[in-house]
A and B are shown apart, each in its own frame.
Chain A
Amino acid sequence: MASKLTTSNRAGWGFALPGFGLIMLFIVIPFFFAFYLSLTNQRLISPNPTEFVGLSNYDRLLSISVLSIEPETDDAGQVVRDDAGEAQYPRVRTFTRNNPDYPQYAGMREWFRWHWGETAKVVVATDVVFWKSLRNTLMFVLVVAPVQGGLALGLALLINQRLRGINFYRAIYFMPVVVSIVVVSLLFRFIYDGNDGLLNNILGFLSFGFFEGRDWLGSENTALGAIMGMSIWQAVGFHMVIWLSGLQTISPTLYEASSIEGASKWQTFRYVTWPGLRNTAVLVLIVITMQAFALFAQIDVMTRGGPLDSTTTIVFQAVERGYGKQDISGGSAISVILFVLVLTISLIQRFLTRER
Chain B
Amino acid sequence: MATVKLRDIRKSYGKTEVIKGVDIDIDDGEFVVFVGPSGCGKSTLLRMIAGLEDISDGTLEIDGQRVNDLEPSKRGIAMVFQSYAIFPHMTVRENVAFGLTINKMKKAEKDAKVDDAARILQMEHLMDRRPSELSGGQRQRVAIGRAIVRDPKVFLFDEPLSNLDAALRMDMRMEIGKLHQDLGASMIYVTHDQVEAMTLADKIVVLKDGLVMQAGAPMELYHEPANLFVAGFLGAPSMNFLQVIVEDTGEDWVQVSSKALVSVKVPSKGRTFTKGHNATLGVRPQYLIAASDGQGMLNGKVILTERLGSETVVNLAAGDGSKLIAAIAEDAVLVPGTEMAWTFDPALAHAFPEEV
Chain B residue with the shortest CB-CB distance to A254:
B85
User: Roughly how many angstroms separate A285 CA and B247 CA in the complex, as a whole number?
Assistant: 81
Residues on B with C-beta less than 8 A from A276 are 88-89
Residues on A with C-beta less than 8 A from B150 are 261
- Interface window among A47-55, A111-119, A145-153, A267-275: A267-275
Shortest Cβ distance from B69 into chain A, in angstroms? 15
Shortest Cβ distance from A224 into chain B, in angstroms? 38
Asked if A271 and B81 sit within 8 Å, CB to CB, the answer is: no
Could you tell me the dominant secondary structure of chain B's interface residues? loop
Asked if A263 and B77 sit within 8 Å, CB to CB, the answer is: no
User: Roughly how many angstroms separate A261 CA and B203 CA in the complex, as a whole number?
Assistant: 27
Question: Quick one: given A256-B52, A257-B79, are A262 and B85 in contact (CB under 8 Å)?
Answer: no
The one of A251, A253, A254, A261 in contact with B73, judged by C-beta atoms closer than 8 angstroms, is A261
Chain B residue with the shortest CB-CB distance to A266:
B102
The one of A253, A267, A271 in contact with B85, judged by C-beta atoms closer than 8 angstroms, is A253
Could you tell me the dominant secondary structure of chain A's interface residues? helix
User: Roughly how many angstroms separate A275 CA and B130 CA in the complex, as a whole number?
Assistant: 14
Question: Quick one: given A260-B78, A261-B150, are A254 and B103 in contact (CB under 8 Å)?
Answer: no
Q: Does A245 contact B (CB under 8 A)?
A: no
Q: Does A219 contact B (CB under 8 A)?
A: no
Question: Quick one: given A261-B73, A261-B150, are A253 and B83 in contact (CB under 8 Å)?
Answer: yes
Could you mark each residue 41-82 of chain B with 1 if its beta carbon is under 8 Å from any beta carbon of chain A, else 0? 000000000111000000000000000000111100111010
Residues on A with C-beta less than 8 A from B90 are 271, 275
Shortest Cβ distance from A270 into chain B, in angstroms? 9
Question: Quick one: given A259-B72, A262-B71, are A272 and B83 in contact (CB under 8 Å)?
Answer: no
Interface residues of A in 217-275 (CB under 8 A from B): 251, 253-254, 256-264, 267, 271-272, 275
The one of B52, B88, B103 in contact with A259, judged by C-beta atoms closer than 8 angstroms, is B52
Residues on B with C-beta less than 8 A from A278 are 89
Asked if A256 and B85 sit within 8 Å, CB to CB, the answer is: yes
Asked if B102 and A262 sit within 8 Å, CB to CB, the answer is: yes
Q: Find the residue from A257, A258, A272 having the highest chain B CB count within 10 A.
A: A257
Q: Does B99 contact A (CB under 8 A)?
A: yes
Chain A residue with the shortest CB-CB distance to B86:
A257
User: Roughly how many angstroms separate A245 CA and B85 CA in the complex, as a whole number?
Assistant: 20
Asked if A254 and B87 sit within 8 Å, CB to CB, the answer is: yes
Asked if B102 and A271 sit within 8 Å, CB to CB, the answer is: yes
Q: Does B98 contact A (CB under 8 A)?
A: yes
Asked if A267 and B102 sit within 8 Å, CB to CB, the answer is: yes
Count A-side interface residues using an 8 Å CB cutoff.
18
Residues on A with C-beta less than 8 A from B85 are 251, 253-254, 256-257
Shortest Cβ distance from A164 into chain B, in angstroms? 13
Question: Quick one: given A251-B85, A275-B87, A275-B89, are A260 and B77 in contact (CB under 8 Å)?
Answer: yes
Shortest Cβ distance from A137 into chain B, in angstroms? 34
Chain A residue with the shortest CB-CB distance to B83:
A253
Residues on B with C-beta less than 8 A from A257 are 79, 81, 85-87, 146
Asked if B81 and A253 sit within 8 Å, CB to CB, the answer is: yes
Question: Quick one: given A261-B73, A275-B87, are A256 and B81 in contact (CB under 8 Å)?
Answer: yes
Interface residues of A in 125-153 (CB under 8 A from B): none
The one of B51, B81, B89, B102 in contact with A261, judged by C-beta atoms closer than 8 angstroms, is B102
Asked if A271 and B87 sit within 8 Å, CB to CB, the answer is: yes
User: Roughly how many angstroms separate A102 CA and B88 CA in the complex, as a whole number?
Assistant: 62
User: Roughly how many angstroms separate A286 CA and B29 CA in the complex, as a whole number?
Assistant: 55
Shortest Cβ distance from B305 into chain A, in angstroms? 38
Residues on A with C-beta less than 8 A from B71 are 259, 262
Asked if B98 and A271 sit within 8 Å, CB to CB, the answer is: yes
User: Roughly how many angstroms separate A251 CA and B87 CA in the complex, as a whole number?
Assistant: 10
Asked if B52 and A263 sit within 8 Å, CB to CB, the answer is: no
Residues on B with C-beta less than 8 A from A272 are 87
Chain B residue with the shortest CB-CB distance to A263:
B102
Residues on A with C-beta less than 8 A from B74 are 262
User: Roughly how many angstroms separate A263 CA and B87 CA in the complex, as a whole number?
Assistant: 13
User: Roughly how many angstroms separate A259 CA and B51 CA in the complex, as a whole number?
Assistant: 9
Residues on A with C-beta less than 8 A from B99 are 261-262
User: Roughly how many angstroms separate A276 CA and B131 CA in the complex, as a whole number?
Assistant: 14
User: Roughly how many angstroms separate A264 CA and B73 CA in the complex, as a whole number?
Assistant: 10
User: Roughly how many angstroms separate A272 CA and B150 CA in the complex, as a whole number?
Assistant: 19
Shortest Cβ distance from B39 into chain A, in angstroms? 19
Q: Find the residue from B50, B77, B86, B87 having the highest chain A CB count within 10 A.
A: B87
Shortest Cβ distance from A18 into chain B, in angstroms? 39
Shortest Cβ distance from A52 into chain B, in angstroms? 54
User: Roughly how many angstroms separate A72 CA and B98 CA in the complex, as a whole number?
Assistant: 69
Residues on A with C-beta less than 8 A from B78 are 260
User: Roughly how many angstroms separate A263 CA and B85 CA in the complex, as a whole number?
Assistant: 15
Interface residues of A in 76-117 (CB under 8 A from B): none
Question: Quick one: given A253-B83, A271-B87, A275-B89, are A261 and B52 in contact (CB under 8 Å)?
Answer: no
Could you mark each residue 210-222 of chain A with 1 if its beta carbon is under 8 Å from any beta carbon of chain B, else 0? 0000000000000
User: Roughly how many angstroms separate A152 CA and B89 CA in the complex, as a whole number?
Assistant: 24
Chain B residue with the shortest CB-CB distance to A260:
B72
Interface residues of B in 94-113 (CB under 8 A from A): 98-99, 102-103
User: Roughly how many angstroms separate A263 CA and B90 CA in the complex, as a whole number?
Assistant: 16
Shortest Cβ distance from A261 into chain B, in angstroms? 4
Shortest Cβ distance from A287 into chain B, in angstroms? 23
Q: Find the residue from B51, B85, B146 having the highest chain A CB count within 10 A.
A: B85
User: Roughly how many angstroms separate A256 CA and B79 CA in the complex, as a whole number?
Assistant: 9
Question: Quick one: given A253-B83, A253-B85, A272-B87, are A260 and B98 in contact (CB under 8 Å)?
Answer: no
Chain B residue with the shortest CB-CB distance to A255:
B85
Q: Find the residue from A260, A261, A262, A263 having the highest chain B CB count within 10 A.
A: A260
Shortest Cβ distance from B166 into chain A, in angstroms? 24
User: Roughly how many angstroms separate A276 CA and B85 CA in the complex, as a whole number?
Assistant: 13
Question: Quick one: given A267-B102, A271-B98, A271-B102, are A260 and B87 in contact (CB under 8 Å)?
Answer: no
Shortest Cβ distance from B279 into chain A, in angstroms? 46
Residues on A with C-beta less than 8 A from B51 are 260
Chain B residue with the shortest CB-CB distance to A278:
B89
The one of B52, B79, B83, B146 in contact with A251, judged by C-beta atoms closer than 8 angstroms, is B83
Contacts A251-B83, A256-B81, A278-B89 given; 4 further ones with Cβ under 8 A?
Answer: A259-B52, A260-B52, A264-B102, A276-B88
7 cross-chain pairs, A with B, having the tightest CB-CB distances, nearest first:
A262-B73, A261-B99, A275-B89, A253-B85, A257-B85, A260-B72, A267-B102
Q: List 15 A-B contacts (CB under 8 A).
A: A253-B81, A253-B83, A254-B87, A256-B85, A257-B85, A258-B102, A259-B52, A259-B71, A260-B77, A261-B150, A264-B102, A267-B102, A271-B98, A272-B87, A275-B87
